[in-house]
Amino acid sequence: MILKLLLVIGVIGAVYFFFIKKKPLKKSPKSKTADKEQANDMIECATCGTYAELDDCILSNNKYYCCSECVDKA
């Protein structure tokens, strides 16, 4: 009786570990760049404080600006 019970528990455990349990995801090299800014991030303008997408911003003196007028004001 105990042998049958252990066999059933073993089969259930094997099914769980082989088919149901998800394997841990390996970190890809891209995950290291997750801390860096992406192209669709919103950045605050250093002069007027409005938010603009990183693609549309102007980088000057290590600060982001929403337009050339704000660069001229700074």
d(CA 16, CA 12): 6
Question: What string of pLDDT tens digits covers the 74 residues of the chain?
Answer: 889 999 999 999 898 888 877 767 676 665 555 556 666 788 889 888 899 888 888 888 888 898 889 888 87
Phi-psi region of 49 (alpha: psi -120 to 50; beta: other; left: phi over 0): left
Answer yes or no: pTM beyond 0.85: no
d(CA 15, CA 6): 14
Pair of tokens at residue 2: 């105990």
List strand residue ranges (DSSP E) for the chain, in order: 42-44, 51-53, 58-60, 63-65
